[in-house]
Amino acid sequence: MPDTVYPDELKDVYDIQETIGSGGFAKVKLATHRLTNEKVAIKMMTKEALAHDLPRVYTEIATMKELCHQNICQLYEVVETEAEIFMILEVLVYDNKEVQF
């Protein structure tokens, strides 16, 4: 994924930090909410890389919006630009060695 230009909706609300995960279609950054200091995970996906998988991602987002379970990370928010999708997710465990989202 090329260098990401974060939309103001993210930059204004979150202090975006290090990469905590990556895969074929996404990169995940650790971030801290500027007002609450809550840690979150921001899953970033480029629409170009997703190509024909884009409908599957929209289905994943719709499903996660409906879920509320202690063993599934909560989807807080989705920010979408013309080129990218950003999913703001609950961080279930955080210490300096391990992050789960």
CA separation for the pair 65, 77 (Å, rounded) = 9
What's this model's pTM, rounded to 2 decimal places? 0.86
CA separation for the pair 66, 43 (Å, rounded) = 18
For 57, the domain range is 8-90
Q: In this predicted model, which residue has the larger pLDDT, 97 or 31?
A: 31
CATH number at residue 76: 3.30.200.20
Q: Is residue 97 part of a domain?
A: no
Residue 66 three-state SS:
helix
Residue indicated by tokens 């409906």: 66
Q: Which tens digits make up the pLDDT trace of 12-22? A: 999 999 999 99
Q: Is residue 99 part of a domain?
A: no
- Reading phi first (left if > 0) and then psi (alpha if -120 to 50, else beta), residue 26 is in beta
Domain count, the chain: 1
Can you name the residues that pair with 100 across neighbouring β-strands?
93
Q: Is residue 84 part of a domain?
A: yes
Q: Is residue 29 part of a domain?
A: yes
Q: Is residue 3 part of a domain?
A: no
CA separation for the pair 100, 40 (Å, rounded) = 10
